[in-house]
Structure 1
Amino acid sequence: MRASRLVTLLLLLQNRGRMTARQLADELEVSVRTVYRDVEALGAAGIPLYGAAGHAGGYRLVDGYRTRLTGLTADEAQAAFLAALPGTTAQLKLRAALPTESREHAERIQERFLLDAPGWYGDADRVPHLAAAAAAVWARRAVGLRYRRWRAPEEVERRVEPYGLVLKAGRWYLVAGGPSGIRTYRVDQILEIGPLEEEFVVPDGFELAGYWNGYLADFRARLYTSEALVRLSPEGARRLGVTSSGDGWVEVRVPIESIDHAHREFLRLGADVEVLAPAELRNRIAETARTLTTRYQG
C-alpha cells in the first residue's frame, strides 16, 4: 500500500510541479504527517525533491528530473489510454510517460473513450475484436460489422461509423452511427469487424459522455416497467436512498424490474421494509418469510 502511494506522490509532483503537503494529503487521502514521512522516504531513496516554506512553498522535483518508473514509451502510453485503465496511479503513469507535446492527445482520447466503472451484472467479457474496434474509433474510419443480437434475425450485418468505446463494469460497448442513427453495440457480440476505406466526421454536438448518460437513462426507463408500494423504516429509506422527513416509517412507490428481481432486492432489506403492493410480490415475500421461520425454528 505504501509503495503504491509513494509512486503516486512522485508522479503527482512530476505532472503538476510544486504541491503543498496539504494538497498532496488531499490527493492521496492521507494525513499531512503521512506526507511528511513519505517525502522523507523518497529523499532517503535518492529522489531529487526539495521543499520550501512560506506562501510560495511546497514540494517539487529538481528541474530536469523525470521518473522512469512508468516503464512506458510515449506510444505505449497512448495505447494504454485506449484501454481506459482505472485508478489515479495508472492515469498518472500514463501522463508521466507522454512527452509534453503529446499530452494534448489525451484530450482527443477522452473524446473517444469513456470508463464507466460501477457494476451492472457480472464478469468481464472476452472481446477478441476490441483492438480492431479501438483502431477504427481512433482513425475515424467506417467498419463493416457482423453482429449477434438477441432478437431475430440473430445475426445482422451493418456498416457503421465508430464514434467511441465505453467500458461499463468490465463490458465494452461500441457507440456508432449508422443508417438508423446512433446505436450501442456490445463488443463481445461482434462476430466480425473489417475496416472500410471511408473516413467519417463525427456529427456536430455529439459528445460521448453525454450520449452514454442518455443511453443509461433510457435503459433504466425500459428496465423498470412497474412499481411497488412499500413502507420503509428510517434505515430502509437510507439504504434505498429515499428522502424521509422525520424519524418514523415512510410509505413510497419505487420502480421495479420484475416480481422476481424485486423479491430478491427487498429481501435484502429484511425487517426494514414492508411490501404493500402488488399483491403477488407481497405474497411471495410473506411465503419466503414463513419458510425461513419454519426452517430456523425447526
Structure 2
Amino acid sequence: MKSSRLLSILLLLQTGGPMTAARLAEELGVSVRTVYRDVESLHAAGVPLYGDAGHRGGYRLLPGHRTRLTGLFAPEAEALVLAGMPGAAEGLGLGPHFADAQLKLRAALPAALREHVDRLRARFLIDAPGWYDEGDETPFLPEVADAVRAGRVLEVRYRRWKEPTDVDRRLEPYGLVLKAGRWYLIAGPGPRTYRVDQVLALTVTDDEAVIPADFDLAAHWRASRTDFHRRLHQGEAVVRISARGAARLTGAAARALAATGTPEPDGWTRATLPVESPRHAHDTFLGLGADVEVLAPEDLRDSIAATVRTLAERYG
C-alpha cells in the first residue's frame, strides 16, 4: 500500500537520520525506482524532504521537522497489543510505565480501532512459562536491568552448578534475554550467560561497561541456542515404541521418530532417537513405562533392565 510506504519513509528518516535511496529500498523491500517516485510524491505533498549528493549523502528531513503520526492500521495496532508483555515489564520494574504506555496508545487510536483493540486484548493472553514452572525468584532483576540500561559494571555473588558453587564475578552487562519465563544476563568477559535468579548479591558500580562494537544480542543468542541444542543430544538409542508411547514424544525425539521410524507388524515402531546423558536417557525411557523397549546401546538396555528388576522386587 503506497500510503503506508510513504509513512514508513517519513518514520525511517525521522528516527534513523539521512538514508540513501538504496538503503530505503532495502528497508522497504521495493526498487530504488519506486523510492524515487515516493520521494516525488512527498515533495508534492509539501514534506520538507531533500537529498544530498556524494558519498555521505542521502535523503533527510529539514532540521527540527517532526512528523506526528497517531494513525495506525489495524494489523499494526494488533501487533503492538499482542507484543506487550506486562509480566516482563513488571519484572524489569517498568510495570507502571507499561500501563501508561498502553493507556496512551489506546487514547491515540480512533474510536473504531480502539474498540477493535479492546476486543483483542480481551480475547488473547500471553502466558509464556510452562505449566510446571512456578516462576523463579529474581529479586535483583530490576537492578540488573538498570545496569544494562546505564551500561554499568556489576559485581555479583553468583551460584553456579559446579564446585565451588558460590563465586564472585565482575561482569560487563551486554543485554538481558527472557526465555521460557526465565531471565538470562549476557555479560563479558566472554561474553557468557548467567541466570539472573542465581544472583545472590549485587553491587552496581560507577565503572562504564565496554560492549564490543560488533556485538549483536539477537545474533549471539541465536548462536548460543544453536550450540546448546547441538551439545544437548550427543548419543542415540534404538528403540521399539508403541503408538501410545510415540504420542508422548516431543521436540527432537518426535522429529527423529518421524524421520527414522519404521512400522513393525505388531503396530509398534522401530526408530533411532537422540539422547542426552546415559542417566537422562535411562530416566526418560523408564518414564514411558511398558510403551517402549530399548534395543541399543547395550549398556543403556542393561541399566534399565536392572532398575526394572529392582522395582519388581520392591513391589513384589
TM-score band, normalised by shorter chain: 0.5 to 0.7
Distance in 2 separating the partners of 1:280 and 1:233: 22
Q: 1:84 and 1:270, CA in 2 relative to 1: closer, same or farther beyond 3 A? A: farther
Q: Is the CA contact 1:176–1:183 (under 8 Å) kept in the aligned structure 2?
A: yes
Greater C-alpha Rg: 2
Structure 2 unaligned regions, length at least 5? 1-69, 107-125
The aligned residue for residue 6 of structure 1 is none
Residue 145 (1) aligns with residue 147 (2): no
The aligned residue for residue 195 of structure 2 is 186
Post-superposition CA distance 1:5-40 (Å, at most 9, x none): xxxxxxxxx995547xxx99xx99xxxxxxxxxxxx
Distance in 2 separating the partners of 1:224 and 1:120: 24
The aligned residue for residue 259 of structure 1 is 278
Post-superposition CA distance 1:48-71 (Å, at most 9, x none): xxxxxxxxxxxxxxxxxxxxxx9x
Amino acid corresponding to residue 218 of structure 2 in structure 1: A
The aligned residue for residue 118 of structure 2 is none
For the aligned residues, what is the CA RMSD?
A: 4.5
Post-superposition CA distance 1:97-123 (Å, at most 9, x none): 3559xxxxxxxxxxxxxx994659854
Q: Whose relative contact order is higher, 1 or 2, with alpha carbons under 8 Å and at least 6 apart?
A: 1
Amino acid corresponding to residue 215 of structure 1 in structure 2: S
The aligned residue for residue 9 of structure 1 is none
Distance in 2 separating the partners of 1:98 and 1:78: 19
Residue 173 (1) aligns with residue 184 (2): yes
Could you state the TM-score of these two structures normalised by the residue count of structure 2? Answer: 0.51
Residue 214 (1) aligns with residue 223 (2): yes
Q: Is the CA contact 1:117–1:167 (under 8 Å) kept in the aligned structure 2?
A: no
Could you state the TM-score of these two structures normalised by the residue count of structure 1? Answer: 0.53
Q: 1:288 and 1:215, CA in 2 relative to 1: closer, same or farther beyond 3 A? A: same
Amino acid corresponding to residue 281 of structure 1 in structure 2: L
Distance in 1 separating the partners of 2:101 and 2:244: 43
Q: 1:190 and 1:80, CA in 2 relative to 1: closer, same or farther beyond 3 A? A: closer
Post-superposition CA distance 1:137-191 (Å, at most 9, x none): 122222222323333444433332212222334432211122xx10111222223
Structure 1 unaligned regions, length at least 5? 1-13, 29-69, 71-75, 86-91, 101-114
Q: Trace 1:202-241 onto structure 2 (pairs within 5 A).
A: 202-233=211-242, 236-237=245-246, 239=249, 240-241=253-254
Count of matched residue positions in the alignment of Structure 1 and Structure 2: 211
Helix, strand or coil for the counterpart of 1:264?
A: helix
Post-superposition CA distance 1:186-222 (Å, at most 9, x none): 2222232222223345434433333233323333444
The aligned residue for residue 141 of structure 2 is 130
Distance in 1 separating the partners of 2:305 and 2:208: 60
The aligned residue for residue 282 of structure 1 is 301
Distance in 2 separating the partners of 1:122 and 1:219: 21
Please report how far the alpha carbon of residue 234 of structure 1 lies from its aligned counterpart in structure 2 after TM superposition: 5.3
The aligned residue for residue 32 of structure 1 is none
Q: 1:93 and 1:132, CA in 2 relative to 1: closer, same or farther beyond 3 A? A: closer
Question: How many percent of aligned residue pairs carry the same amino acid?
Answer: 47
